[in-house]
Amino acid sequence: MSLAQDYDLPDGPSMSPARMTWKFLRDRAGTVPAYHQEYGDTFSLRILPGPRTLVVFSDPADIKEIFAADPSQFHAGEGNAILKPVMGEHSVLLTDDAEHQRARKLLMPAFTGPSMRAYQPLVEAIAKIEVDSWHDGDTLVTLDRMNAITLDVILQVVFGVTDEERLSVLRPKVNRMVNIDAKMLLAWSYPRLFKLPPWRGYFKNQQEVDELLYAEIAERRAAHDLDGRDDVLSRLLRVGASEGETPLTDAEMRDQLVTLLLAGHETTASALSWTLHELGRDPEILARAVAAADTGDDAYLEACLKESMRLHPIIDFVARTLQSDQVVAGRLLPRGTTVTPSIMLSHSREASFADAHLFKPERFTAEKVAANTWIPFGGGVRRCIGAAFSLMEGTVVLREVLQRYEVTADAVAPNKLRNITNVPGDKAPLRLTMR
C-alpha cells in the first residue's frame, strides 16, 4: 500500500473546491486553457462533491494510455455519476464492469451500418420538412432550428413516435428535460434540493416524461408489427435472447432512451450550428461545401462537421475514476482520483493540428488525423455508441440545407456552456440566401 506522500499529483490552482466547481461548471472554455498555459499538459483541480480531485491530461500519449487502461480500474460510469438523477442508474454512460458490457452489447445492434442506412430516409424527411419552412432572406436562429431537427430525430427515429398528437405533447416536455444549466447540475449532488424550486419543477416534468416513455414502451412491446419497425426502441425490444443475454427491462429501456436523448439531441444540434456558422464565415469553404451537397460528396460534408467539432468541442472532457492506486503517465495517483482527458485541449494542440485556431475541413480529407488527437466521442471501449449516428445525422442535415441555401454569418459567435454542452452563445444567427 502506497503512502500518501508517495503520490505524485500534479500542480493546479489552489482556490477553494466550491469556487473551483463554480468556475468549472460555468466557464471551462476560459479557465481550462488558462490553467494549461500556467501548469502545462497535466494539472489538478479540486471540485465538489467530495471534494474530489480531477487530474486533467492533454498529451495524446497520455490520453491513449487512459483509453487503453483496464476499464475495471478506470470507471467511466462513476466519472459521469453527476448525470445519474436524470439518466438513471442503468444508463450505458453511468454503469461499469459487467453491467456496462451487457448494456453495450444489447445496444450495439441498433447502431450498426445496416441500422444507419435504415434510419437515414427518416432523418432526410425530418430535415426536409424543417428546411421547407425557411425563406429567402430570413435570419435563421440556427441553434433553435437545429435543436428542432435533432429533437424530432430523437423522438421519431429513436423513440419511434411519429403520431403528431403524441409528438406535440412530448416536444415541450423533452425540451424542458434537456434544458439543464450549471445550477441544476450542481444540485443533482444534493438531493435535498429536489423538493425546492426550480429543481422541484424540473423533476416533476421529468416524472411526466418518464410516464409517457413507459407507456410508449408498454404499447410497443404489445405491438403486432414490432418485427417490421426500424426505430431504435423497437430494435432494442427485439434484442436479448438471441445474444444470450437477458433482455432490457422497462426501467433499463427508459434509462437508455433518456441517455440517447441527452447525449444525442443538443450535442448534434450544437455541432450543426457551429458547422453552419463556420461555413457562413468563409465563402470559399462554403462554396466547396455547397458543391459537395450538390454532387453527393458526403465525405466533405462530414469533414466540415468533424472540423467544427474539433474547433468547438461540444463536450469538452472525458472522465475515468480510479478504483485503485494507478500509475498514469508516469505519476502514481491515488484511488478515487478522476483522470480527465481534455477534449478541448487535445483539439487545440498545434503539434496535432497546425493552425489549430482555423477552420480547415481538409484536415479530415487530405490529411491523416493521428489517433487520440480528435476525440469528441471519447475513446477505448467506452467510445460513444452513437458516434456513427451523430455523423450520419449531421451530414444529412448539412446536405439538405446547402442544396437549397447559402448562409452568411455577420459576427463571430461566442461560446456558451449550456448544461454539459458548448453552444453558440448567440445561437449562431445566419442570413439565408436561396440558391
The whole-number pLDDT of residue 79 equals: 76
3 pLDDT exceeds 50?
Answer: no
424: Cβ contacts below 8 Å, ≥ 6 apart? 142, 143, 270, 273, 274, 277, 413, 414, 415, 416
- Which string of DSSP letters, residue by residue, matches 329-394? TTEEE-TT-EEEEBHHHHHT-TTTSTTTTS--GGGGTTSPPPTTT--TT--GGGS-TTHHHHHHHH
DSSP code, position 317: B
User: Does some domain include residue 251?
Assistant: yes
What is the number of structural domains in the chain? 1
183 pLDDT exceeds 90?
Answer: no
User: Does some domain include residue 397?
Assistant: yes
User: Does some domain include residue 37?
Assistant: no
User: Does some domain include residue 7?
Assistant: no
User: Does some domain include residue 170?
Assistant: yes
The number of angstroms, rounded, from the C-alpha of 128 to the middle of its chain's C-alpha atoms is 24
User: Does some domain include residue 344?
Assistant: no
Domain span at 311: 86-315+354-434
Q: Are 84 and 93 in contact (CB under 8 A)?
A: no
CATH (domain of 372)? 1.10.630.10
User: Does some domain include residue 121?
Assistant: yes
Report which of residues 191 and 395 the model is more confident about. 395
397 pLDDT exceeds 50?
Answer: yes
User: Does some domain include residue 67?
Assistant: no
Instruction: Choose among 217, 209, 239: nearest CA to 88.
Output: 209
How does residue 188 score in pLDDT terms, banded at 50, 70 and 90? Answer: low
Instruction: Choose among 208, 211, 187, 189: nearest CA to 197.
Output: 187
d(CA 100, CA 91): 8
The whole-number pLDDT of residue 2 equals: 43
Number of helices (H), then strands (E), belonging to the chain: the values are 18, 12
